[in-house]
Chains A and B, each alone.
Chain A
Amino acid sequence: GQSLEQPSEVTAVEGAIVQINCTYQTSGFYGLSWYQQHDGGAPTFLSYNALDGLEETGRFSSFLSRSDSYGYLLLQELQMKDSASYFCANKAAGNKLTFGGGTRVLVKP
């Protein structure tokens, strides 16, 4: 089976850096994805790591360590619009994504 664990909530101030950790236990692993979802909205794709290391896309970076079954999403220079829920997801065999429970990020002025 598949399971992904991430913290339920993180609070930070504008301009700060937030790291959202994701640990996973899977019977098959092809890569770790991250999605953002604003309240009342649909999830949107942020990043994907298939190999170990850091992927940087603007203010957001994602990291993967396959040997540790661990990844994280790093949000830098936080802005109010970054207040949202962030989900890690594992793509396993059968072309299916399994999502973690999500981390709600609250950015304060």
Chain B
Amino acid sequence: NAGVTQTPKFQVLKTGQSMTLQCAQDMNHNSMYWYRQDPGMGLRLIYYSASEGTTDKGEVPNGYNVSRLNKREFSLRLESAAPSQTSVYFCASSEMTSGQETQYFGPGTRLLVL
């Protein structure tokens, strides 16, 4: 049981380049999320998917697109990277048990845009 996995772990891009961050979970969770975390700050929600086939914008969606490929996989795409997108990106999935939601986070992708 790997939990939530993310690839790549590190990436350096030049301004204007595109890339896709991959995320997969093997816990059969319906909900999945993409966050970004800037140094010394909390996590900000970029996009989320409440179930397979649905996606919704979070707090900071501009410059990003997502795809919920199937129940396991939720990818984040940067079409034209900008230095302001330099950050650590975390994917998460969640389960609801007895009214309590627990989010499980992947190890993160550290992205530097030059």
Report A's interface with B, CB cutoff 8 A: 31, 33, 35, 41-45, 48, 50, 87, 91, 94-102
Chain B residues numbered 22-48 whose CB sits less than 8 Å from any CB in chain A: 31, 33, 40-45, 48
Is A48's CB under 8 angstroms from B101's CB? yes
Is B108's CB under 8 angstroms from A42's CB? yes
B56 / chain A contacts, CB cutoff of 8 Å: 94
B59 / chain A contacts, CB cutoff of 8 Å: 98
How many residues from B make CB contacts under 8 Å with A?
Answer: 25
A44 / chain B contacts, CB cutoff of 8 Å: 105
Is A102's CB under 8 angstroms from B103's CB? no
Interchain pairs with CB closer than 8 A, number: 54
Is A99's CB under 8 angstroms from B43's CB? yes
B102 / chain A contacts, CB cutoff of 8 Å: 33, 45, 48
Give Cα distance in the complex from A98 to B46, angstroms: 11
Give Cα distance in the complex from A105 to B107, angstroms: 21
Is A87's CB under 8 angstroms from B101's CB? no
12 A-B pairs besides A43-B105, A102-B42 with CB distance below 8 A are A35-B103, A43-B103, A44-B105, A45-B102, A45-B103, A87-B43, A94-B56, A97-B33, A97-B103, A98-B45, A98-B59, A99-B44
Give Cα distance in the complex from A44 to B103, angstroms: 8
